[in-house]
Structures are given as structure tokens and as C-alpha cells.
Structure 1
Amino acid sequence: MNEAVDEAGWDVEPGDEIEPLVQAVGKLLKVCREAAGLRVAELGEVLGYGEDMIRKMERGARIPRPEYLDRADQVLNAQGHLRAFMKDVERARYPRKVRELAELEGRAVEMLLYSHHNIHGLLQTPEYARALFEMHQPAYAPSEVERGVVARAARKSVFEREPAPTLSFVQEQVTLERPHGGKMVLRRQLEYLLEVGQLRNVVLQVMPTDREEHAGVQGLIEVLKFADGTAIGRSDGAFNGRPVSSPRDLRILELRYGMIRAQALTPRESLAFIERQLGEL
């Protein structure tokens, strides 16, 4: 049995809104298999997956990978009916919170993002993201690590949108120095930051460790603004960390973020700082 068995998909989270979709895809998989005259064991042998895995997908307890649907469509002669759900299950395989965040980021026309512990998720390379997930305690299972890496990488589509949103990032200096995953991982991460920092719709700044005045001592800040004039924001150190959308609360976060930007290095100075860090690795 090949190693792809454990990567065929992920369990559905109880009460998740994608349950009906996954159940419908599962029923279709079963109908197509039976129409092809194959038992579960026979299909598993052809595709290289265990019987238990296939049964889970057919009863909607497991989210199939798009690649599985593609291969099953071919083997079962489903005439594209299974492939038609590939994009839907691609989105469904991400954790619910990630799907919700990706939806908000996909609608935002402007984002204000301050990170203090790690490189912001939208800026992370897959290798850097993997290192973070692998350090999580209690430890994630390998499939959970993979799921997290894939989901984080999918959020990068925000850089490909047209019209492009305006993105402002402020990173603490220490996030550019801590070698999560090793020096080579950090090197590639810094190289990627330089690439992103050159984009016309991106402003990337570094907050030096030696600043005596720092408006970001209360932690992470994120503000997402939408085309209809509404916005949503959150901060670790404000409003008990919960998302807020009232003009008054958002104003507090924007004022704090504005002070952070003013105290940080300029965009030009920041890119030069990253280049120096890269040269020292």
C-alpha cells in the first residue's frame, strides 16, 4: 500500500458547514463505484488506498483530496461527475477558521498587519510554515501539519488578485532573526520577503528591537477593510482578542497601527535591513 493512503483526505470536523458537501461527494463516489461493478477492496487495490479510508470517504466522514477524485473519476468512468467537485473539496479540506479567514482576506481591499512572534502567515514560505506547525505543542499529527501548510499556502492567492489589495506589514526584527527550521529555511524566507517587498501594492516595514517607544507592546494587530466601507480587526491585547467591527474599536486599532508604522523603519530602510540579515546568514 503506498504512502498516499494517509494523505487521501482529512476527517470532517463535527458540525462543520461543509459536512453536507462532503456527504454528497461521498454518496456520489459510492454510486460511481457500484455502477462500475467494483467492491471497495477492488477499488482500493486499483487506487492504492485502504478499504477503511475509502469507506470513510463514501460515508462523508473523510474529505477526499482533489487528486483522489480525479483518479477515481478516471478509474470509475464517471465522465467528469467526480472531477466537478475538485475545487469544492479543495476549499473544504482547510480547517473552518482558515476558510473563514481566507474568505475575509479575499474580500479585503486593504490590510494592516503587525506581527511580533513569527513572520505573518501571508508572508510565510511553505518551509517556514512547516517548521512552525512541527514545533506546535501538543504535537500535530503529520496529516495535520500537511493540512496546515497547504491551507496557509492557499491564502497567498491574495497576492494574485486583480485589482490588487493594499497590504501593509510590520514585522518585529526578531522574527527576521529566529531561524525556525534552520538557517536555510530562514534564508529562503528572507529572500521571499525581499520579493514581496518589491510589489507595488505591498509596504513591508521592520520594527527594530532597540526602539524605546513601541506602540505594539500589546501584541498582534490585524485590520481588514472592505470595498463597502466596513472593516474587521483584532489584536491580542485589545477587546479580549475577539474580532471587532465597530468604528470606535477599529479606530483604536488603526491609531495603534499608525503609531507602530511611524516608529518602524521606513520601507526602503526595512528592505535594506532584510538584505543585511540575508548577507549575515
Structure 2
Amino acid sequence: MHDDTEEAPDCSPPGETPADQIPGVLRAFGRQLKRFRLRAGLDRPAFGALVGYAPKTIAAFEQGRRVPPPAFIDLADEVLDAGGVLGELKEEVAQAQYPVFFRDAAKLEADAVEVQVYANQAVPGLLQTEEYARAVFGMGRPLMDEETIERQVMARLARQSVFARKPAPLLGFVLDESVLRRPFGGGSTLRGQLEHLLLVGQYRNVEIQVLPLEREDNAAVDGPFTVLHCENGDQIGYLEAQGRSTIVTDRTEIRGIVCRYGIIRAQALTPSESLAFIVKSLGEM
């Protein structure tokens, strides 16, 4: 067996997490993965051949520098006869794929029984197509390298598993008309995004509403926000701007945010009117 016990130097290839920013759960998972691999008498090339990953990728998983996908964790647990130990960390590992500022919100979103979103800058992440998401991440400054963009896109798409949850959560979105007009990624990408909105808008548990630019009133003029309704009845607000986020739990403050969402819904077009508006927008492209 090759000697692969030496850790990589403290410099990370593009798309991998710098050593001083590695979440504890990734370090813990990596240590467990390496322990089970060595117990099985496998070096990285041999183990990689069994699970379909390059030795350098296995090293990145073991050192916590890259987030292993759920399918890899399941396969590794089986191949290494880990008895479910690796699989038990799968949910926590999945959270590590998100930016630090969003991890708590991602967990709350995944467990919420109802999600209400107001967006006036871009299509909300839960509704984004892969091409649209890639365009959004690609135009950020400072610029991200391609591997980082790809990782962020996959993480964003992974959030959309909420649509397949049973029982299905209620998902409401109010989109400022400007969101539908802004051609992130170009006309073709925007067209695909609008078509996706029409598709998702047909789901029974989803309501998409458009707030036209011609409306004189906008109760959410202060910016975008999300309201998460928990199974125990708690309501939580989530605010995000410029790479920073705030989770709001104060009852008085969250009551104001919930009230604001109710007003903005009343100011917007109805769901059926909104889908017709999107169809009309597509016809004007």
C-alpha cells in the first residue's frame, strides 16, 4: 500500500477550501473516511478505483478540503463496511457546501413547512435554473474560479430538493417585475428561466406572484427577505445582502416582516395573473 499519510501543503487548489476555513464536520468526516480506508487495507488509488474518484480527490475529501457528494458517502460507507458511520454524517456534510453565512438558513429552509420569499434583485435560488444560477455566480466580484462556481451552482440546485419533500411544504414567491426583465446570462438564459417559472408555478404547493413596476406602492421597498415557518409554529426571518446574512427570531421584528409579506402579496398580481404576465413577457422577447 502506498504511503499516503502525509498531509497536503497548506495551499488549496481552485475549488477547494483553504485549510484555515475548513468546517469541523468536514475534518471529522475526513478523519473517519481515512480511518476506515486504512482499516480496509486500501491506499487512495485502490479505494478511488472502487468508488470512481481520482486519488487526489480522495485526498481532498480526507483532508476536508472538498465537500463529498451524498452518493460518494453512501458508496464509501458500503465499500469500506463502515456500518453507517459515514452515512450518519451525510446531512451535516451537505450543509458544509454552502457559504458560511448561509448554512444556518439552509438547514432552516430544508425543514420549514412554509417558505415565503420576496425578491427584487434576482430570481430566488429555489427557482433558479442551472444556467441562470451559473450566470449569477459568474458575475460576482471578486470573480470566482470555475470550480468554485460549479460547486456553488450544485449546492444551489441541491436546495431545490425541497420541491420533492413529503409532505410538501408551501412555497410562496413574490417577484418584482425587474427580476423578470434583467437578462442575467443573456436572452436565452432568461427565456429558459421564465419557462421554468411557468413550470414550477403549476405545482399545487407553489404560488408565484409578480409585482409590476407600475405599482405605486411597495411594502417591501427596503429589500428582499424570506420568512420560514417551522413545524412547531415558530416563524423565522432571513435577510441577506453583500455576502452577509441575518436570521431574525425576535417576535416583534418577525411579526413586522410577516405583515410586510402579507401586504406585498396583496399589492402583487394574483398567481394566475402572474403566470399570464410571465407568458406575455416571453412573447415580448
Q: CA deviation at 1:60?
A: 4.0
Distance change (3 Å), C-alpha of 1:228 and 1:123: same
1:26 is aligned with what amino acid? K
- Structure-2 change in CA distance of 1:172 and 1:43 (3 Å): same
TM-score relative to the length of structure 2: 0.79
Aligned partner of 1:197: which letter?
G
* Aligned residue number for residue 237 of structure 2: 233
Q: 1:26 aligns with which of 27, 31, 34?
A: 34
Q: Distance in 2 between matches of 1:248 and 1:30?
A: 54
**Matches of 1:267 and 1:66, distance apart in 2:** 35
Shift of 1:235: 3.9
Per-residue deviation, residues 114-153 of structure 1 (Å, max 9, x unmatched) = 0000001111011110110011100112121111111111
Match runs of 1:132-281 below 5 Å: 132-235=136-239, 242-281=246-285
Residue 49 of structure 1 aligns with which residue? 54
- Counterpart position of 2:21: 14
Secondary structure class of the residue paired with 1:112: strand
Q: Which runs of 5+ in 2 are unaligned?
A: 1-12
Map 1:56-71 to 2 at 5 A.
Answer: 56-65=60-69
| % identity of equivalent residues | 38
**TM-aligned CA distance change 1:234 to 1:9, over 3 Å:** closer
Cα-Cα RMSD: 3.3
Q: Distance in 2 between matches of 1:241 and 1:214?
A: 22
Contact 2:132–2:184 (CA<8 Å) still a contact in 1? yes
Q: Pick closer, same or farther for the CA change 1:42–1:197 going to 2, 3 Å.
A: closer
On the 8 A contact 2:61/2:67 being kept in 1, the answer is: yes
CA contact (8 A) 2:36 2:82 kept: no
State how far apart, in whole Å, the 1-side matches of 2:177 and 2:221 are.
14
Letter of the structure 2 residue corresponding to residue 113 of structure 1: V
Go from structure 1 to structure 2 and tell me whether the alpha carbon gap of 1:222 and 1:274 turns closer, same or farther (over 3 Å shift): same
Cα distance in 2, alignment partners of residues 45 and 168 from structure 1: 45
Distance 1:280 1:80, change over 3 A: farther
Q: What does the per-residue CA deviation read over 1:10-54, in whole Å, with 9 as the maximum and x for residues that have no partner?
A: 56763624131232223333444xx14x4x577779967365x54
Tell me, what secondary structure is at the counterpart of 1:188? helix
Counterpart for residue 78 of structure 1: 80
1:59, distance to aligned residue in structure 2 (A): 3.9
1:162 to 1:12, Cα distance in 2 relative to 1, 3 A: farther
Indicate the residue corresponding to 1:88 in structure 2.
Answer: 90
Q: Deviation per CA, 1:193-237, whole angstroms, max 9, x where unpaired?
A: 111111111111001111111112100121111121111103469
Q: Is the 8 A contact 1:10 1:62 kept in 2?
A: yes
Alpha-carbon distance in 2 for matches of 1:115, 1:61: 33
Distance 1:270 1:247, change over 3 A: same
Give the deviation of 1:7 after TM superposition.
9.1
C-alpha spacing 1:29/1:81, structure 2 compared with 1 (3 Å): farther
CA–CA distance in structure 2, aligned partners of residues 241 and 67 of structure 1: 30
* TM superposition shift of 1:157: 1.2
Partner of 1:106: 110
